[in-house]
Amino acid sequence: MTVKGRNELCLTLAVLAYVAARLAPPLAGLTEVGQAAMGVATAGMILWIFEAVPIGVTALIVIILLALNPGMKLGDAVHGFTSEVVFFLIGVTALGTAVEASGLAQRVARFLVRHAGGSPTRLYIQMIVALPALAFLVPSAITRNAIMIPAYREALSGMGVGPTGRAGRALMLALGMLNPLASSALLTGGIASMAAATLLGGFTWLGWFSLMAVPYYALIFLGGIYLRFMVGRFEAAAAVAADAPPSTPLSAAELKTLVVLAMASILWLTDAFHSLSPAIPALIAAAILLCPQVGVLSWKAFEAKLSWGLILTVGASMSLARSMTETGAAAWLGKLFVAHLASVTAAPALIVVLLVIAVALAHLAITNLAACLALLIPVAVTVAGAAGLNPLVCGLVVAIAVDAIILYPVQTAANLLAYESGFFDARDVRRLGLGMLVLTIAVVLLVLPYWSMLSLPLRSSL
């Protein structure tokens, strides 16, 4: 089947899935509006997973279908665009553009090329090893990607590796799918860790790190090894790549960008004192960088880098997650998992494996990380109670699985930023995501004895 034929088939299946959801009688326990929301989620998944149309077009289709659902208005369908995540992305896009336009990206790229000795393989290894440390310096994975993607793109270009190269594909996939795991190992690293810790309750920063650093860092390094073999042998670098020009003093534009970036980072790191949304420092930084005579960016340069596909996709997925939650479709999915998992009387380890797989399937329909965790962690606690397992352990397993198993580009904003770079496609995401599913199961099973040593056994003591 040709690409065109496959895309037409996927588009037809997406439309049929939505029409079937609207015309068929509601499934047991699911309301008419909930089934309609499920229909939109199914249609969106088909189109996003198989890239039948550009991701921005899929986002527009999702918005239209949501607005056509019973009881929904256009205002409800576009509610996701009021989310702070959308404005956070706008802010960090300005930061990333400034890093590139000011020359900082080129400076970092020269540093990377020089210390990698002109070798793409060495550059890749250095990046994987550096991800945990970088998360301490810049906790937000989205911000790190906005800064690092331009730098690594320049570094690859300096080595003579283009967007179609295997080395570039591996680097950008790692930034999109492995880089966020470094944030989640930290309690203050992002939405996922904060949401999970709040739902499970009672974690200190050190307590969370002691429990989650081992599985998350294991997934980063094992995922990095798997990804390296998945893409195949890297290209040889250009002969001149190792001869990076000597460093020059920082320009005024570079100094301004560094000062603004430092200011935003300080505000992000001190949010416990001022309680500002992460989007506010990002927008303040964007405004300063775009101010004439003060900043380093023109509005036209910023507009050229701001992806409407990215903005539309994030806003549409937020609206879809809200619809799934408010119509009861997400709760219905949760009860479905409980009904099947709670009846399993096999070994506890098998229940954990099935829980990971169930989370991966649910995450396909609920793209928003916080919404997915808000639904699935209470489900995991229920499953644990029915199976005589430790609810806290099952909740932590859910948090890891939601973070680590990504099967199409729009499931996380950090991965979507990397995807927009053009170095990889949805097929690469699926291949890495399926590998991460296997690795997540293995890492979770191996970490259970470690958690038990920290007085967190799998079997409930109640």
Q: By C-alpha distance, which of 160, 163, 205, 159 is closest to 185?
A: 205
CA distances 294 to 170, 198, 252, 258, Å, are: 37, 40, 11, 13
Q: By C-alpha distance, which of 371, 38, 98 is closest to 261?
A: 98
Residue 209 CB burial class (10 angstroms; 0-12, 13-18, ≥19):
middle
Q: By C-alpha distance, which of 343, 331, 379 is closest to 359?
A: 379
Pairwise CA distance, residues 53 & 64, whole Å: 15
CA dihedral 137, 270, 252, 110 (to 10 degrees): 10
Q: Hey, what amino acid is at 79?
A: H
SS3 sequence of 32-49: HHHHHHHHHHHHHHHHHH
Element counts in the chain: helices (H) and strands (E): 23, 0
Kindly give the parts of the chain with pLDDT less than 70.
188, 190, 202, 237-247, 338-346, 461-462
Pairwise CA distance, residues 358 & 379, whole Å: 11
Q: Hey, what amino acid is at 397?
A: V
Spell out the residues 6+ positions from residue 353 whose beta carbon is closer than 8 angstroms to its own: 441, 445
Beta strands in 255-294 (DSSP E): none
Contact 141, 369 (CB under 8 A): no
Residue 457 CB burial class (10 angstroms; 0-12, 13-18, ≥19):
middle
Contact 124, 167 (CB under 8 A): yes
CB atoms within 10 A of CB 200: 20
Contact 448, 124 (CB under 8 A): no
Length of the chain, please? 462
Q: Is 71 left (phi over 0), alpha (psi -120 to 50) or beta?
A: left
33-42: b (≥16 Cβ within 10 Å) or e: bbbbbbbbbb
Q: Kindly give the residue spans of alpha helices, DSSP state H, lying in 51-178.
A: 55-68, 74-77, 84-101, 104-115, 120-137, 141-158, 166-173
3-state secondary structure of 459: strand
Q: Is 297 left (phi over 0), alpha (psi -120 to 50) or beta?
A: beta
- Could you give phi then psi for residue 29, rounded to 5 degrees? 85, 0
Pairwise CA distance, residues 394 & 74, whole Å: 38
pLDDT (0 to 100) of residue 218:
97
Q: Which residue has the tokens 């649910």?
A: 362
pLDDT (0 to 100) of residue 200:
83
CB atoms within 10 A of CB 259: 12
pLDDT (0 to 100) of residue 240:
45
3-state secondary structure of 272: helix
Pairwise CA distance, residues 52 & 270, whole Å: 43
Pairwise CA distance, residues 417 & 439, whole Å: 24
Spell out the residues 6+ positions from residue 18 whose beta carbon is closer than 8 angstroms to its own: 39, 40, 42, 43, 65
pLDDT (0 to 100) of residue 242:
44
Q: Kindly give the residue spans of alpha helices, DSSP state H, lying in 117-165.
A: 120-137, 141-158
Q: By C-alpha distance, which of 413, 411, 403 is closest to 430?
A: 411
pLDDT (0 to 100) of residue 351:
85
Contact 210, 136 (CB under 8 A): no
Q: What is the pLDDT of residues 260-284, one digit of tens each?
A: 988 888 887 787 788 787 788 889 9
